[in-house]
Structure 1
Amino acid sequence: MDWSNFEFLNPEFLWLLILIPLLAVWYFFMRKKDAAVLTIPSIKGFKADSILSKLKPLLYVLRLLALATIIIALARPRNVSVSKKTKSNRGIDIVMAIDVSASMLARDLKPNRLEALKKVAINFVDRRPNDRIGIVVYAGESFTQTPITSDKGIVKRTISELKWGQLEGGTAIGMGLGSAVNRLKESTAKSKVIILLTDGVNNSGNIDPRTATELATELGIKTYTIGIGTNGMADFPWSRDPRTGKLQFRKQQVEIDEALLKEIAEKTEGKYFRATDNTSLKEIYDEIDKLEKTKIEEFKYYNYQEKFRIFVFLGLGFLLLEFILRNTLFKSFI
């Protein structure tokens, strides 16, 4: 019997087991009155008590055992096996639109903005097992790096391989948002979300960010915007060393079009965040993860195996055994 899944349907009946020790004590003090008493001047010449007379209390023990098992049967002991099945009935399709312009190599986040983002984004994907995710990258132009998919391995590999230099220079926020909206417009998911991250201002591309925002609003696509970069100055790449080919950095003012990002988030019923360091960037993705939860239904199936019958049969067995012994072996002592 698996005791971890054992229970009583009517455990209140178990209080009746208190009667067992009380009846045992009562029998101990009343046992001498249970048989007829013959007063004689001497027992000399009488045969000593037989073994049967000493076993006579066994009848009362059998009766108490019968009572105890009947009480346990009344409490309805049973084994319960539980099987669980989960169902996701409100999947979320998410597209991450990621700025990969040269400024994402700025060192105000460690080791730089792009590498810090990749680590946090991969962790975010790991926590979305029931959702589909796609990746859009943009700089001076944009394209879909990975279409919306439920294969998290592909999504994480795509994020880990993101690098600067794949696209022409600039920051086309409107095109990045537009490409993300285009990925989601045919989605049949009940909830559609864009996470748009940038570290600059819209300075290139042929799609106005507000036009893309209006399209997202019409399609019911919620957009969370993230401005990444410290407040003040940061080390930005500005040229390559002609001898070594390594990027050279210099201090430059961080410029993020927060007004535009707030407007995009507000009109699409999303939220704007500012990530000024590695910790705040992680906290932002943690908060988005909490805000956008897939509704999971858990179904439990219970299988009950009733065990009271065995206690009923044991009780009847004890009573039958007591009846047989009382009317056979112990008949002459009653």
Structure 2
Amino acid sequence: MNWNNFEFLNREFLWLLVLIPLLAIWYFLSHKKEGATLLMPNVKGFKANTSLLAKLKPLLHVLRLLAIAAIIIAFARPRNVAVSSKIKSNNGIDIVMAVDVSASMLARDLKPNRLEALKVVAIDFVDRRPNDRIGIVLYAGESFTQTPITSDKSIVKSVISELQWGQLDGGTAIGMGLGSAVNRLKDSKAKSKVIILLTDGVNNSGNIDPKTAAELARELEIKVYTIGIGTNGMADFPWSKDPRTGLLNFRKQQVEIDEKLLQYIADQTDGQYFRATNNQDLQEIYDEIDKLEKTEIEEFKYYNYEELYRPLIFLALGLLVLEFLLRNILFKSFI
């Protein structure tokens, strides 16, 4: 028996067990009155000898007390409870991560650079969203869907780990990145639709106005969380490539992020704007978004009860029958 799953349904009946010692005392005190008393002036001619039946007669009271105890425990309804559960996600969230992959994402104000820092945090974020579908949109001077919305997290994490700059023309087309993400979600049937838009610059290319894309997201009830990534002040930016070695050359440059635009997009869509100036900030931002956007999970529990009172009832009946037979057969003529 698994005692962890054992319970009494009507445990208040167990208080009746205090009657057992009281009954035992009562039987003991009344035992002397059960036998016949023979008055004699002198007992010198009798040999003291207690018969076996006299010694066993208290067994009748023990059997009755055990029967009463078994009945009381049966009334308390002892049982084993086997619990099984099934988790169901009814209201999943569809999330599109719109990632800026322009050359400035190689800036080294985050370690080892902005893009590599993002990969670590984004993969961790995906791992914590087992019940949601996630898609990836990349943008620089233009945009495209790298991964449609999918529940296959291994694909999403693989795509994130392989992100690199140079896949798109130069520039930062925030409007096109947001527009592509909105397009991915416009036909979604999920109860909640979310875009996480990350950039490290200002909108300087593309043919879609970011504010127009934000208004479209609002009409489609898509929430946009915007993240500006980059330190305050100067940072090492790539500005040329060495033709002999193929390595990038870096120089100090002022960090420019259009925070007013990112704040506007977040406000228009009931989202939030965050600023990540270092690796820890970036991790905390994704942690916060993970807390804000929670999938509603239903847990169904199934209970299987194994009632244990029946054997106790049969035991009590058996003890009472045994007590009756002994009293009316073996001890019937006993004085």
TM-score category of the 2 structures, normalised to the smaller one? over 0.9
Q: Deviations over 1:272-306 (max 9, x none)?
A: 01111111111111111111111111111222222
**Judging changes above 3 Å, is the alpha-carbon distance between structure 1 residues 43 and 242 closer, same or farther for their aligned structure 2 residues?**
farther
Matches within 5 A, 1:126-141: 126-141=127-142
Residues 1:27 and 2:42 aligned together: no
Single out whichever of 127-136 and 49-58 deviates more from structure 2.
Answer: 49-58
Secondary structure of residue in 2 paired with 1:206: coil
Structure 2 residue identity aligned to 1:135 = I
How far is the alpha carbon of 1:109 from its aligned partner? 0.9
Per the alignment, residue 87 of structure 1 pairs with: 88
Please say if 1:287 is aligned against 2:277.
no
Amino acid paired to 2:100: D
Question: Deviation at 1:186?
Answer: 1.2
Which stretches in structure 1 are left out of the alignment for 5+ residues? none
Alignment RMSD = 1.4
Greater shift after overlay, 220-229 or 39-48? 39-48
Q: Which residue of 1 aligns with 2:304?
A: 303
1:55 partnered with 2:45: no
Q: 5 Å matches for 1:65-80?
A: 65-80=66-81
Whole-angstrom CA distance in 1 between matches of 2:225 and 2:206? 21
Cα distance in structure 2, aligned partners of 1:63 and 1:80:
31
What SS does the corresponding residue of 2:74 show, helix, strand or coil?
helix
- In structure 1, distance between residues paired with 2:268 and 2:275: 18
TM-score using structure 2 length: 0.96
Q: Are 1:10 and 2:39 an aligned pair?
A: no
- Alignment correspondent of 2:233: 232
* Residues 112-136 of structure 1, C-alpha deviations (whole Å, 9 max, x = no match): 1111111111111111111110000
Counterpart of 2:220? Answer: 219
Alignment partners' CA distance in 2, 1:155 and 1:314: 63
How many percent of aligned residue pairs carry the same amino acid?
78
Against the structure 1 CA distance between its residues 46 and 230, is the aligned structure 2 distance closer, same or farther, given a 3 Å change threshold? same
Secondary structure of the 2:65 match is: helix
Q: Please name the residue that 2:255 is paired with.
A: 254
Q: Which moved more, 1:46-55 or 1:278-287?
A: 46-55
Partner of residue 244, structure 1: 245
Shift in alpha-carbon separation, 1:100–1:53, aligned structure 2, 3 A? same
CA distance in 1, matches of 2:142, 2:226: 18
How far off is 1:206 after superposition?
A: 1.1
Secondary structure class of the residue paired with 2:333: helix
Structure 2 counterpart of 1:22, one-letter code: L
Provide the residue aligned with 2:105 in structure 1.
104
1:113 counterpart = 2:114: yes
d(CA) in 1 for partners of 2:233 and 2:35? 104
String of CA shifts for 1:191-243, please: whole Å, max 9, x gaps: 11100000000011111111111111111111000001111111111112233
Displacement of 1:2 after TM fit?
A: 2.8
Deviation at 1:47? 6.8
Going from structure 1 to structure 2, the CA distance change for 1:140 and 1:60 (only over 3 Å counts) comes to same
Supply the AA of the counterpart residue of 2:298.
E
> Offset at 1:30?
3.8
Matched AA of 2:185: L
Distance in 2, Cα, partners of 1:129 & 1:20: 57
- Are 1:268 and 2:269 counterparts? yes
Q: Which amino acid aligns with 2:332?
A: K
Paired residues, what number?
334
1:103 aligned counterpart, secondary structure: helix
Shift of residue 45, structure 1, vs aligned partner: 4.1
Q: Which runs of 5+ in 2 are unaligned?
A: none
1:207 lines up with 2:201 in the alignment: no
TM-score (norm 1): 0.96
What are the equivalent positions in structure 2 for 1:323-334 lying under 5 Å apart? 323-333=324-334
Structure 1 distance, partners of 2:160, 2:320, is 75
Give the whole-Å Cα distance in 2 for the aligned partners of 1:39 and 1:54: 22
